[in-house]
Amino acid sequence: MNQDEMKRAVAMAAVDMIRPKLEKNSVIGVGTGSTANCFIDALAACRNDFAGAVASSEATAERLRRHNIEVFDLNSVSELEFYIDGADEFDPHFNLIKGGGGALTREKIVAAVAKTFICIVDESKQVDVLGNFPLPVEVIPMARSYVGRQLAGLDGQPVYRQGFVTDNGNIILDLHSVDILDPKTFERHLNNIVGVVTNGLFANRSADVILMGTPQGVVTLQ
């Protein structure tokens, strides 16, 4: 299997995993990115088995609607059984770096509400220590320089994602060259910098299940 085939295979595996547990009134959370897009396409086959989805981005909402899957506002939903999303890196403890697509804040909110977070990835995302992939940090625009200086003080190199505005109207600083040895503490530390909306570390709410695509097939880690 090549990388695209692995993405489609984990997407199908995620649908197979949740389908028996879906009820007519179930609402699920759906992430953002190319692997999440494969999941949405696979999910369309069972759109009549559940009520609809909460989207983690405008792009995901649009794709869900194109498949006639109803999109709910998170505030109108009391519980989400599942959240299904990709990741940019995952470590042996299921801590993640997310936000390569810039949707990290809404992704983190939807993941926080969900009972079970199923992360769908190909094997290229597996690492021992997080931090090779630049860590996205969503920042209020007027705080860009201040937050940049604070991030530079952490031994990393913050890079402004030029021309990119999040769905929330903010900017992204990508933090390069940090070895994230204690992801939970680092996540909290970054969130304490004034002007940071959130960061792409999913450690305090990590994944519950990882479906990893390999050339030989899908491996379930839990």
Binding-site annotation: residue ranges: 32-35, 85-88, 98-101, 125
Nearest 5°: CA angle at 181, between 180 and 187? 55
Binding-site residues from annotation for substrate: 32-35, 85-88, 98-101, 125
Contacts of 146 (CB under 8 A, 6+ apart): 194, 195
Indicate which single residue of 52, 102, 148, 195 sits in contact with ligand 5RP (rule: CB under 6 A). Answer: 102
168 in contact with ligand 5RP (CB under 6 A)? no
Has 107 been annotated as catalytic?
A: yes
Residue closer to ligand 5RP by CB (options 104, 175) is 104
Q: Which of 29, 52, 86, 195 binds ligand 5RP (CB under 6 A)?
A: 86
The answer to whether 125 and 88 have CB atoms below 8 angstroms apart is yes
Candidates 107, 123, 138, 187; catalytic one: 107
Give min distance, CB of 154 to ligand 5RP, in A.
Answer: 21
Residue 99 makes contact with ligand 5RP by CB under 6 A: yes
Report the distance separating Cα 134 and Cα 99, nearest Å: 9
- Mask of contacts with ligand 5RP, 23-62, x by CB under 6 A? --------xxxxxx--------------------------
> Judged by CB, which is closer to ligand 5RP: 104, or 197?
104
Residue type present at position 137: V
Integer Rg of the chain from CA: 17
Min separation Cβ 88 and ligand 5RP, Å: 5
Applying CB under 6 A, does 105 fall inside the site for ligand 5RP?
A: no
Stretch that binds ligand 5RP, among 80-88, 138-146, 157-165, 204-212 (CB under 6 A): 80-88
How do 157-160 and 196-199 pair as beta strands? unpaired
DSSP string, 104-140: HHHHHHHHHHEEEEEEEEEGGGB-SSB-SSPEEEEE-
Q: Would you say 164 and 139 are in contact if contact means Cβ atoms under 8 Å apart? A: no
Closest distance between ligand 5RP and the C-beta of residue 101, in Å?
Answer: 3
Whole-angstrom Cα distance, residue 16 to residue 217?
Answer: 14
Q: Using the rule CB under 6 A, is 63 a contact of ligand 5RP?
A: no
What is the sign of the dihedral through the CA atoms of 126, 18, 42 and 9?
A: positive
Q: Is 206 in the site for ligand 5RP (CB under 6 A)?
A: no
- Other CB atoms within a 10 A radius of the CB of residue 8 amount to 17
List contacts with ligand 5RP (CB under 6 A).
31-36, 85-88, 98-104, 107
